[in-house]
């Protein structure tokens, strides 16, 4: 008899779990506790039981009664809530105000992350610069032909200007830091430009400088390849070629395959199939000399790239002006 009772309890609990309506639940209750319900009957039958087992069975019946009554009550509540209060999880919401970083900031932190892995520190320098740090100490003496490539914005001609490249930070760092060092700088630069969709008087450059005994062109190549493959993808084609910059010797130009046309030639790559990406080289011995270093004892490399183009490609922005005039709509 006790076994039957335990089975009844377990079966009923399962039934209660499956019930979908209040009517069905009421039916279960009547089947158990109604005038001829199973539990009611079992209580009636108690008096016919062996007095020795009566007490034990009585306790069991009570326990079953309590458990099932509770279960029914709980189920009743949950059915009531579901039925009475309509719940719609598809309801539209209003987003709380979410902040966004500027695309240029995002690109800078991604790049910085890669160079941190290579032991580079992050630094900066003044934007209002002197001719000395922006040109003279960089092996760009007055009347150097390469100066005409950089029409400068002057604050107080000819000495005080807005830095025309982040290389000015290179000279500042060679002067300031103890060897060896590796630093990167990402910052604003300025040139005399008539503003249009692809030129702005202010732009961002990303520059790296390393000065350490034993650095070679092979280290520069390895560093740039590591960066380019990490940032732009393992499968990108790289052209590592000889190029002239007064600040370096030997000099390097690094180009990436144009993915806009698969190197067939398009307006983005000006029909070349390659995009000029990085200017680099071994720091010119004249620059080392300017700071009292001997090129036979120490060597270093420097590289620089324009950031705006990279940001524009990454975020599909066509007009350079929209980067810095508040036109960016955050979604």
Partner 1 sequence: MKIPINWLEEFVEIPSDLKKLTHDLTMVGHMLDKIEEKNGETILDLELRGNRADCYSILGIAREVSAIYGNRVKTLQTVLLTKVKKLKNISLNVKTPFVKRVGMVEVKDVKIMKSPKWLSDKLTNYGMESINNIVDLTNYVMIETGEPIHAFDLDKVGDNIEIRLARDGEKITTFTDGQIKLTHEDLVWASGPEGLRPGGQVLSIAGAVGEKYNSISDSTKNILIEAANYNRANIRRMIYRHKLLTEAGIRHEKNLDPNIVDLAISRFLYLIKKYNWGKFNPEVYDYYPSRVSPCKINLTYNYLKTLGGVDIKFSEIKNILSKLQFEVVKKDKEELTVLIPTYRTDVILTEDLIEEIIRIYGYDNIPTKTLALEIPKNVTLNYILQEEKFRNSSEALGFDEVISLSFIKKEYLDKNIPVDKGNLKVVSIQNPPSPDTRYLRATLFPNLLDSTLKIINDRGEVAQLFEIGKIYLKNGNRYIEKRKIGLISWNENKKNFSDFKSLVHALFAKMGIKSPEYLHEILNITLSDSYVLKFMGKEIGFGGKLNDIYYIEIDLDMLLGQEKKYNMSLWPKFPPQIEDLTFTIPAKTYIGNVMRVISELDSRISNLSLKDIFSDSYTFNLEYQDPDKTLTNDEVEKIRNKILSAVKSKFGASIKS
Q: Which of residues 89-118 bind partner 1 (CB under 8 A)?
A: 96-102, 104-105, 109, 118
Could you say whether residue 294 binds partner 1 (CB under 8 A)?
A: no
Could you say whether residue 303 binds partner 1 (CB under 8 A)?
A: no
Handedness of CA 252, 256, 261, 263 (dihedral sign): positive
Could you say whether residue 315 binds partner 1 (CB under 8 A)?
A: no
Contact positions with partner 1 (CB under 8 A) in 194-223: 194-195, 200-202, 210, 212, 214-223
- Cis link prior to 158 (omega < 30° from 0)? yes
Cβ of 168: how many Cβ atoms within 10 Å?
28
Residue with tokens 């390097």: 252
Could you say whether residue 249 binds partner 1 (CB under 8 A)?
A: yes
CA distance 244 to 185: 22
Among 167, 258, 299, 302, binds partner 1 (CB under 8 A): 299
Shortest spacing between CB 306 and partner 1, in angstroms: 15
Identity of the residue, 42 or 215, whose beta carbon is nearer to partner 1 in the bound complex:
215
Identity of the residue, 80 or 100, whose beta carbon is nearer to partner 1 in the bound complex:
100
Identity of the residue, 57 or 171, whose beta carbon is nearer to partner 1 in the bound complex:
171
Residue with tokens 């639940």: 25
Could you say whether residue 240 binds partner 1 (CB under 8 A)?
A: yes
Could you say whether residue 119 binds partner 1 (CB under 8 A)?
A: yes
Question: What is the phi/psi pair of residue 272, to 5°?
Answer: -90, -20
Could you say whether residue 172 binds partner 1 (CB under 8 A)?
A: no
Among 142, 235, 267, 318, binds partner 1 (CB under 8 A): 142
Could you say whether residue 126 binds partner 1 (CB under 8 A)?
A: yes
Shortest spacing between CB 71 and partner 1, in angstroms: 38
Six-digit token string for 8: 């009844």
Could you say whether residue 258 binds partner 1 (CB under 8 A)?
A: no
CA distance 224 to 236: 13
Residue with tokens 């590289």: 303
DSSP string, 177-210: SPSSEEEEEEEEEE-----BTTB-SEEEEEEEEE
| Nearest 10 degrees: Cα torsion 283, 143, 166, 246 | -20
Contact positions with partner 1 (CB under 8 A) in 26-65: none
Shortest spacing between CB 309 and partner 1, in angstroms: 16
Six-digit token string for 186: 């990402």
């Amino acid at each position: 008899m006790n076994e039957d009772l335990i089975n009844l309890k377990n079966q009923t609990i399962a039934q209660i779990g499956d019930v979908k309506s209040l009517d069905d639940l009421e039916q279960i209750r009547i089947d158990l506790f109604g005038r001829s319900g199973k539990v009611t009957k079992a209580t009636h039958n108690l008096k016919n039981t062996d007095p020795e087992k009566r007490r034990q069975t009585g306790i069991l019946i009570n326990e079953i009664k309590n458990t099932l009554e509770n279960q029914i009550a709980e189920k009743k509540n949950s059915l009531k809530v579901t039925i009475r209060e309509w719940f719609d999880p598809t309801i539209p919401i209003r987003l709380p105000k979410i902040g966004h970083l500027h695309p240029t900031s995002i690109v800078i932190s991604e790049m910085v992350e890669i160079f941190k892995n290579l032991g580079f520190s992050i630094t900066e320098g003044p934007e209002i610069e002197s001719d000395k740090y922006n040109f003279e100490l960089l092996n760009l003496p007055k009347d150097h032909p390469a100066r005409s490539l950089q029409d400068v914005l002057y604050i107080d001609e000819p000495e005080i200007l807005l830095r025309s490249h982040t290389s000015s930070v290179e000279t500042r760092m060679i002067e300031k830091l103890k060897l060896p060092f590796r630093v990167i700088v990402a910052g604003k630069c300025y040139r005399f430009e008539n503003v249009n969709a692809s030129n702005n008087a202010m732009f961002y450059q990303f520059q790296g400088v390393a000065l350490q005994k034993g650095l070679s062109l092979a280290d520069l190549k390895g560093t740039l390849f590591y960066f380019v493959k990490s940032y732009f993808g393992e499968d990108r084609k790289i052209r590592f070629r000889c190029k002239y910059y007064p600040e370096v010797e030997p000099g390097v130009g690094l180009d990436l395959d144009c993915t806009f046309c698969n190197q067939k030639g398009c307006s983005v790559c000006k029909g070349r199939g390659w995009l000029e990406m990085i200017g680099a080289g071994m720091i010119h011995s004249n620059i080392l000399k300017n700071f009292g270093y001997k090129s036979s004892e120490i060597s270093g490399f420097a590289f620089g790239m324009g950031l705006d183009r990279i940001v524009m490609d990454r975020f599909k922005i066509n007009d350079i002006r929209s980067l810095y005039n508040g036109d960016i709509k955050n979604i």
